[in-house]
Structure 1
Amino acid sequence: MNSISFHKARLKTVLLGALISLLYLQPLQAQNASSLQADKKAIVEADNARFTVLTPRLIRMEWNSSKSFDDHASFVVVNRKLPVPAYTSKRENGWLTIKTGELEMSYKLNSGSFNQENLKIKMLKSDTISWSPGKKQKYNLKGTYRTLDNYDGDTHLHNGKKIELEDGILSRDGWYFLDDSSDLRLDNSDWPWVYTRENAGTDWYFMGYGSDYKSALYDFSQISGKVPLMPRYALGYWWSRYWSYSDNELRELTANLKRFNIPADVLVIDMDWHRQGWTGWSWNKSLFPDPAKFLSWTNENHLKTTLNLHPADGVAGYEDDYNQFAQNMKFDTTGRKTIPFLASDKQFMSNLFDVILRPIEQKGIDFWWLDWQQWPNDKRITNLSNTWWLNYVFYTNMDRNRETRPMLYHRWGGLGNHRYQIGFSGDTFISWKSLEYQPYFTNTSSNVLYTYWSHDIGGHQLKHGDESVDPELYTRWLQYGALSPILRTHSTKNGKIQKEIWNFSGKYSQVQYEAIRMRYTLVPYIYTMTRKTYDTAIGLCRPMYYDYPKAEEAYRFDREYMFGDNMLIAPIGSPAVEGFSKVKVWLPEGNDWFEWHTGTLLKGGQILERAFTLNEYPIYIKAGSIIPMYGENVQNLDSNPEDITVAVFPGNNGRFTLKEDNGNDKAYKDQYASTEFSTSSNGREVTVTIGGTTGKYDGMPGKRRYILKLYGSEIPQKVLVNGKAVDFSQTLKDGNWSYTGRELSVNVSLPLSDTRKQQQVKVIYSTDNKADINNGLVGKLKRLTQLTAELKSMDNGIYLPEALGNAEETNRALEYYPQNFYQLIDKFNADYQKLPVIINDLRGVNKENQQKLLKLLQ
């Protein structure tokens, strides 16, 4: 391709990308004035006041002495052009009254600017919720905070102060008030830019929602912008460490990840990629002799790459692109003085991207880690937050100039930053306090739509006096990380902090590996829930009161959270005592809950104290849930695999709709696919229906192999696939079924088929026999394996009692002799009852060790 053809093709690509952005991503950024102005039918004017009915719960209220009303985007509000809700407006007895199905607002005509005497709002469905100017909230449920730098849990280690979280959208008061009067505005240029305005007047928004928190968040997202869908790869494992990595070291690290079968998607390269210090724009060639070839290698290995930026030092004379940058800025290069950084200068920022950053991106950098830690506000526009503004500028620049989905990894800058996805929470101390606090911190962040915090999993820095990483603490942190928005391990530049799995003993490394693998297993479910966040503004990790607003426990159990719609997590935040981590968990009423790692079906509507060994975690799945999963062969998230596991959990009549798309294009608003899974029960028969996939997207698999996995299942008498009986096999193969004793699961392999074709599986159980196996049997079998291993290690001369050996091997016997399922379960129950006496009678085992073994039977 000649140069002219190449540039024509490039221009066509850029124009196409801009068109797609305009069509699919509004209102992520302000595009033009017309996209921000409300429909005239939604507006009521009275004297110097203007009221806009945005939703039944949300009203904009403006007053301006010159009636100079402003419809530009603010930093928070970027859209007002919404469907006009039903409402009435009347003027009577000197008052203007606007009434929707939810609110009644009254304004006294000819009474001037708003005050508590002339403006009142009440909720029509509540006798207790009303508002007038000046009223203060009492029960705000909080939002988030800029950084956890130097915090040990919620306490600053140096000054002892507690974190004071910002207020959020949600409150038990049942209303939200936004004063947008003094907020900066964005102009209507092709790349909307900040400007200051005069004669701003009053610009308020009021939202009344009672306890309907989900509707409140959705309404807020309608005016403040959706939470954009991340690229699918962001849900994978991020390897990150502040370390002066070289090209050689990173290749060796990646080779070890592959050697240990650890999947990974993102490689984070911290500050030492810079030529000098922790900032700058030029590669350190002593570490990366040829950055382009290094990035070509990362792409070949399916690793997305990000570089850390601290842009405050401007563009120094030693930078590779200094001359071109200075020429574009018309800056005197005499003495090669540094060109000062000024984020509000559109020319400076445009050249920064055009001359310096975009050429680096085009070599293979997928997104930026923007780590602003310098002066808080711009030096020209003094009320402009550098953090907020840089997040906007970096994200929207990527949006304008890339075909792939824009993504930014950055610090929280304030309300409206949810439009730029992933937050970096800062440099926490490595402690149980930090792990204990992070779930609550993450939960409340959803109250400002900032749902994708990326924490330093495992903590950033050791506390004074600590010499190494506590393996139990790191393992529990990694388990939490696998069930948090972003799984990114990280630490500071300290040789004593080594978080590579292969640096831990087998007891810990195996559980760490299982945590990362579990994350990849759950990606289809997680990605579907991130799609739901885009559609509804409901966060992936959300407080319990979203789903159970009337229950007091939902507010008291503030570390507990829903992980999507079907999973409840009660994270472990303290060290084990005598081998067990105890957790007090609230299980809401309305359904039963399946404790996944122990195989225990528990009643909803109760508070329990549960105990977990290292390889167990408090994951509770709504009874009857269907969870789509990936298999263990997935090593990265570049594409949607052909094979999908459909996991069905104990309970009646479940339903789940899997959402998929290209994973990294901008067309996800309309180009996606849906596949519905459902179950129905009739006596001792369970029917699972896999609906034909609807919709389409680029790269969509035309055929797919489904593996059905029924957890907590007895061994059936017969399995039918699309009406035909299939055979049992000890090894799962196409067109047959098997049983996994370790998980007590029936596994059915469906043939490779057209994704648009409906399929059905019927599982028929014995009507003569029935066994209760969802009573913790999975956990008992797991702990017996641990018990026998520890017993054997105590003294090589110990004879393993027959009843103990038989009980421990029950999981394998179920696979070998499926026809003896009920007899084997009965025998296990009988043998298990004998084990305490057997262990007490063991010769050669001291009392202390006997007690240790007995605890595994409790």
Structure 2
Amino acid sequence: MKTFFSLLLFCVSGFLGVFAQGYQQTESGVKITSQGMDVEVTFYSPSIVRVLKYPTGKYPDKQSLSVTMQPKALSVNTLFTDGVVSLTSTHLTVQLNLETGKVFFKDLLGNLLFTEKDYGTQFTEINYPSGKRYIVRQAFLLEPDEVIYGLGQQQGGKMNQRNQRLFLRQENMKVCIPYIASVKGYGVFWDNYSPTTFTDNRQETSFESESGLCSDYYFMYGGSGDGTVAQMRLLTGQAPMPPLWTFGFWQSRERYKSQEELLNVIKEYRRLGIPLDGIIQDWQYWSTDNAYWNAMEFGNPEFPDPQGMLDKIHAQNVHAMISVWANFGPKTKPFATLKEKNMLIPVDTWPHKSGVHPYDPYHPEARDIYWDYLDKGIFSLGMDAWWLDSTEPDHFNIRDRNFDLPTYLGPWRDVRNAFPLMSNKGVYEHQRAMASDKRVYILTRSAFAGQQRYAANTWSGDVDSRWDVFRKQIAAGLNFTVCGIPYWNTDIGGFFSHKLYPKGIKDDAYKELYVRWLQFGTFTPMMRSHGTDTPREIYQFGSRGEWAFDIQEKFINLRYALLPYLYSTAWDVTKNNGSFMRALFMDFPQDKNVYDLDNEFMFGKSFLVVPVTDPMYVNRDREITIGQTKKQSVYLPSSDWYDFWSGDRIAGGRQIERETPIDLIPVYVKAGSILPLGPEVQYATEKKWEHLVLRIYPGKDATFVLYEDENDNYNYERGAYTEIMITWDEKEQTLTIGERMGQGFDGMLKKRRFIIQLPDGKVSKIVSYSGRRLKIKL
């Protein structure tokens, strides 16, 4: 009997011990009830933690639209002390206060990384016409001088996103992603798709969403800018390889009004010997009647032979992209099919008051229907790429936003900001399922977290042709790519030019703006000329010997010389979660002078680019005056640098003045870089890289991985590619070209020559390479 009571007492005390602590151990975390809510902390990986909070007993049955990662069973050490449960993985510690429900994060040394505010979670019940929801608010505390980036693409020109209030709802020119990344090496993704207000002030940093059932965010610790991007990609998906040709030059206009006009553009580029890889057909190829908006077929009589047009484009080694929208006119076949199945969202969109409505991209069958018409009407002709326009989408009727309209996933308010993610998803997944010989490539006007997995390159929208707007694109693009989406670009020259430049290309003031914008575009993931009012083809600006023509030709040719660097950087993005446009804190985290620079960036890991974003050479009479060279102030981060144009070596960690004649912008190469340069070509695949320049920038040890594959299919996913690791040993002054790695591919070069250059462009040595390791003493 005594033994029985002793055993009973042991069991009861053990039972009370677990529940007295007030938490429940889960497979990869803990769960508690506190302050009228359930709190779940779950490790998705040693570096990624999900924090989910909801009113007690009201578990939200939520499937994330952005997050693709699933939690895995992990070995997490749990310790309970003084009302706080601590969970420690191999990378960080998460602590949860059982009384307040507050969560905070520390590194393994015990340093505080990020913390919620005490009692910072709020659920305010609201009765929308579509049903009951909560306004969900989560507040955090940052260090007073902590610098953060992200929030998608905003047009305020700010690099550091502190001390502001932003309303995050998708619009033209405004991409809203509720994500922040800190210079301390962590990122936070607020997983809510309704319109959300971000606030940062002295009291707190918070996300407040108009509709939700829970507070749901992911904390990612990468330890650095690159590490945080890698964690975001691990959480939301990897970026596939674009085709090689997409890194060439693109010409576009709003719009080519006939197939003859479009074909003549290509003909003129080829006649002039100006490289070109992509041509874009904008809207109204379907009809000029808005009732047939986005019919997904050629109905305009000015395009009488679309198949013949595509064949002629391809015969000249150019690729075609076409504008496709997320909405349909009332007389189109897709509209009729979608309306019958109740798969339209009946709001007023562009074109305004034309009866055009967006489709419901949240519905799997609606995405099937969308692709079916796109395939039969356009893809089957041999179209190469998609311009998915208005993927926010445009939404008029400001006073009556109709956010209570139903979608497949519930009220539109609940999923509003994820519209571009789902729309791009439909096109990507359907083309991938249908064709493996042609990589999906999408140009799109909006984005949401995770969109990198759908081969989408987002452009900054219909921006004005103004110098101040031009400069703001730099910060907009850098903050966007910090969110883990590497491919971004902008309309070279700005979309709307007529407001300030009614004479267009006849105005020297516009020419100066355009060539400066094009110089910037050379160092973005997609070099694309586009706009309305003013035709942008190079020959519109004059002919050879005229400054506006010659500068464009110079930078277009530079773009093609950089193709080996660009394509290898793309591989680094896909394989190693790298980035093209890099905010300077990513490469110089200890240099606080770079934290808020809004007009400089790294392009890949070698180039420092400083676009010229102020007019210098147009006088008050709007005439060009290039006789006296002007200068621009440049901050060189803490490193040694080489002037790309002169080869001069310059010490960093200081401000300098660089002469900026109209035909160049400040570009520097980091000491300890290896830069591969390709041959002169008229299109990306015209010549194989049989004679490849390797320009060595000494000063530090350097490594570069040269990547090659079949350029435009998915065989690389099965190993059909090669890598050549090239290293520079600074101490030994020795270049090593490593053994060619990988299983190889059809058309692979078995032999080639490397022309080794110094920073001034002078040839040092020429070596033959057949795939075996070479060591060259310089």
**Pairing partner for 2:42 from 30, 52, 66:** 52
Identity %: 21
The equivalent residue for 1:226 is 238
The equivalent residue for 2:169 is none
The equivalent residue for 2:367 is 349
Q: Give the 3 Å change call, closer, same or farther, for CA 378–124 of structure 1 in structure 2.
A: same
Deviations along 1:796-821, whole A, 9 cap, x unmatched?
Answer: xxxxxxxxxxxxxxxxxxxxxxxxxx
> Letter of the aligned partner of 2:680 in structure 1?
E
**Pairing partner for 1:289 from 304, 307, 315:** 304
The equivalent residue for 1:746 is 763
Separation in structure 2 between the aligned mates of residue 370 and residue 437 of structure 1, nearest angstrom? 23
Q: Give the 3 Å change call, closer, same or farther, for CA 614–202 of structure 1 in structure 2.
A: closer
Deviation at 1:183, TM superposition (A): 7.2
The equivalent residue for 1:365 is 383
The equivalent residue for 1:446 is 481
**Pairing partner for 1:688 from 714, 735, 740:** 735
Deviation at 1:270, TM superposition (A): 0.6
Matched, 1:90 2:41: no
The equivalent residue for 1:585 is 634
> Letter of the aligned partner of 2:328 in structure 1?
D
Q: Give the 3 Å change call, closer, same or farther, for CA 594–108 of structure 1 in structure 2.
A: closer
The equivalent residue for 1:99 is 88
**Pairing partner for 2:68 from 59, 73, 78:** 78
Q: Give the 3 Å change call, closer, same or farther, for CA 519–106 of structure 1 in structure 2.
A: same
Separation in structure 1 between the aligned mates of residue 756 and residue 540 of structure 2, nearest angstrom? 29
**Pairing partner for 1:488 from 515, 528, 542:** 528
The equivalent residue for 1:673 is 722
Deviation at 1:682, TM superposition (A): 7.2
> Letter of the aligned partner of 2:615 in structure 1?
P
Deviation at 1:169, TM superposition (A): 2.4
Deviations along 1:781-803, whole A, 9 cap, x unmatched?
Answer: xxxxxxxxxxxxxxxxxxxxxxx
Contact 2:702 2:727 in 1 (8 A): yes
Deviation at 1:461, TM superposition (A): 2.0
The equivalent residue for 2:450 is 416
Deviations along 1:527-574, whole A, 9 cap, x unmatched?
Answer: 221222223433201111011122111113232111111111122112
**Pairing partner for 1:263 from 275, 281, 290:** 275
SS of the residue corresponding to residue 270 of structure 2 reads helix
> Letter of the aligned partner of 1:292 in structure 2?
Q
Separation in structure 1 between the aligned mates of residue 179 and residue 147 of structure 2, nearest angstrom? 7
> Letter of the aligned partner of 2:319 in structure 1?
K
Separation in structure 1 between the aligned mates of residue 243 and residue 378 of structure 2, nearest angstrom? 20
The equivalent residue for 1:392 is 425
**Pairing partner for 2:191 from 180, 189, 192:** 180
Deviations along 1:463-505, whole A, 9 cap, x unmatched?
Answer: 535222332222222111111121000110446x664366255
Separation in structure 2 between the aligned mates of residue 162 and residue 311 of structure 1, nearest angstrom? 16
SS of the residue corresponding to residue 143 of structure 1 reads strand
The equivalent residue for 2:752 is 705
> Letter of the aligned partner of 2:504 in structure 1?
S
Q: Give the 3 Å change call, closer, same or farther, for CA 527–202 of structure 1 in structure 2.
A: same
**Pairing partner for 1:249 from 256, 261, 274:** 261
Contact 1:302 1:636 in 2 (8 A): no
**Pairing partner for 2:504 from 459, 462, 468:** 468
The equivalent residue for 1:374 is 394
Q: Give the 3 Å change call, closer, same or farther, for CA 90–330 of structure 1 in structure 2.
A: closer
Separation in structure 2 between the aligned mates of residue 352 and residue 135 of structure 1, nearest angstrom? 41
Q: Give the 3 Å change call, closer, same or farther, for CA 201–255 of structure 1 in structure 2.
A: closer
Contact 2:177 2:448 in 1 (8 A): no
Contact 1:141 1:168 in 2 (8 A): no
Q: Give the 3 Å change call, closer, same or farther, for CA 508–93 of structure 1 in structure 2.
A: closer
Separation in structure 1 between the aligned mates of residue 62 and residue 717 of structure 2, nearest angstrom? 25
Deviation at 1:327, TM superposition (A): 9.5
Deviation at 1:140, TM superposition (A): 5.3
Separation in structure 1 between the aligned mates of residue 175 and residue 522 of structure 2, nearest angstrom? 27
**Pairing partner for 1:566 from 601, 606, 622:** 606
Deviation at 1:438, TM superposition (A): 2.0
> Letter of the aligned partner of 1:693 in structure 2?
R
> Letter of the aligned partner of 1:674 in structure 2?
E
Unaligned runs of 5+ in 2: 1-25, 121-138, 162-171, 196-210, 345-353, 397-402, 618-626
Contact 2:114 2:141 in 1 (8 A): no
- Within a 5 Å distance, the mapping from 1:715-734 to structure 2 comes to none
The equivalent residue for 1:785 is none
The equivalent residue for 2:252 is 240
Separation in structure 1 between the aligned mates of residue 731 and residue 147 of structure 2, nearest angstrom? 47
The equivalent residue for 1:795 is none
SS of the residue corresponding to residue 223 of structure 1 reads helix
TM-score w.r.t. length of structure 1: 0.69
Deviation at 1:634, TM superposition (A): 5.4
Contact 2:183 2:589 in 1 (8 A): no
Separation in structure 2 between the aligned mates of residue 364 and residue 471 of structure 1, nearest angstrom? 36
**Pairing partner for 2:105 from 121, 130, 139:** 121
Contact 2:294 2:324 in 1 (8 A): yes
Deviations along 1:135-160, whole A, 9 cap, x unmatched?
Answer: 244655332556869x9xx9xxxxxx
> Letter of the aligned partner of 2:567 in structure 1?
Y
Contact 2:282 2:322 in 1 (8 A): yes
Separation in structure 1 between the aligned mates of residue 512 and residue 477 of structure 2, nearest angstrom? 22
Contact 1:705 1:749 in 2 (8 A): no
SS of the residue corresponding to residue 350 of structure 1 reads helix
Deviations along 1:335-354, whole A, 9 cap, x unmatched?
Answer: xx999653244434322322
> Letter of the aligned partner of 1:115 in structure 2?
G
> Letter of the aligned partner of 1:458 in structure 2?
G
Q: Give the 3 Å change call, closer, same or farther, for CA 296–709 of structure 1 in structure 2.
A: same
Separation in structure 2 between the aligned mates of residue 607 and residue 405 of structure 1, nearest angstrom? 43
Contact 1:312 1:374 in 2 (8 A): no
Contact 1:624 1:654 in 2 (8 A): yes
Q: Which has the higher contact order (CA 8 A, sep 6+)?
A: 2
The equivalent residue for 2:166 is none
Q: Give the 3 Å change call, closer, same or farther, for CA 254–224 of structure 1 in structure 2.
A: same
Structure of higher CA gyration radius: 1
Contact 2:447 2:458 in 1 (8 A): no
SS of the residue corresponding to residue 273 of structure 1 reads coil
Separation in structure 1 between the aligned mates of residue 330 and residue 439 of structure 2, nearest angstrom? 28
The equivalent residue for 1:660 is 708
Contact 1:418 1:448 in 2 (8 A): no
SS of the residue corresponding to residue 323 of structure 2 reads strand
> Letter of the aligned partner of 2:724 in structure 1?
T
Separation in structure 1 between the aligned mates of residue 404 and residue 298 of structure 2, nearest angstrom? 27
Separation in structure 2 between the aligned mates of residue 760 and residue 90 of structure 1, nearest angstrom? 54
> Letter of the aligned partner of 2:67 in structure 1?
V
Separation in structure 2 between the aligned mates of residue 257 and residue 694 of structure 1, nearest angstrom? 38
Q: Give the 3 Å change call, closer, same or farther, for CA 580–177 of structure 1 in structure 2.
A: same
The equivalent residue for 2:493 is 458
SS of the residue corresponding to residue 54 of structure 1 reads strand
More helix by share: 1
Deviations along 1:669-706, whole A, 9 cap, x unmatched?
Answer: 452311012234678xx543322211034335142322
Deviation at 1:93, TM superposition (A): 5.5
The equivalent residue for 1:428 is 463
The equivalent residue for 2:441 is 407
Contact 2:542 2:548 in 1 (8 A): no
Contact 2:68 2:236 in 1 (8 A): yes
